[in-house]
Amino acid sequence: MNVDKAKKRILKRVQRGFNGYPQISVEYFGKTADMATEVAITFLSEENGEPQIQRFTSDKDVREDEAIQSVLLKIIERAGANTVLENRVISVC
């Protein structure tokens, strides 16, 4: 799947806002605020539930990595998430 198409489909899910659980959160990390080299996707099945976290890393920007963006979209779709949250600001670590 094209990286732009995957990003648009994720954005559509984010724009729906909070619709209850299950919930998925996507957060980006990097050494600088300009390039995200890691993404963490967190799944919550219910409020105050135990979060399940999966991380993906890349040498290049994960926001522009077609394979990683496609995997994120597939995880969101298969989890049946009612709510998708995305932190677009890169957390510097």
pTM here? Answer: 0.88
Type of residue at 27: E
Residue 2's pLDDT is 83
Nearest alpha-carbon partner for 92 in 32, 35, 41, 26? 32
27 and 87 Cβ atoms separated by less than 8 Å: yes
Tokens read off for 69:
């963006």
Residue 65's pLDDT is 93
pLDDT in tens, 7-64: 999 999 999 999 999 999 999 999 999 999 999 999 999 999 999 999 999 999 999 9
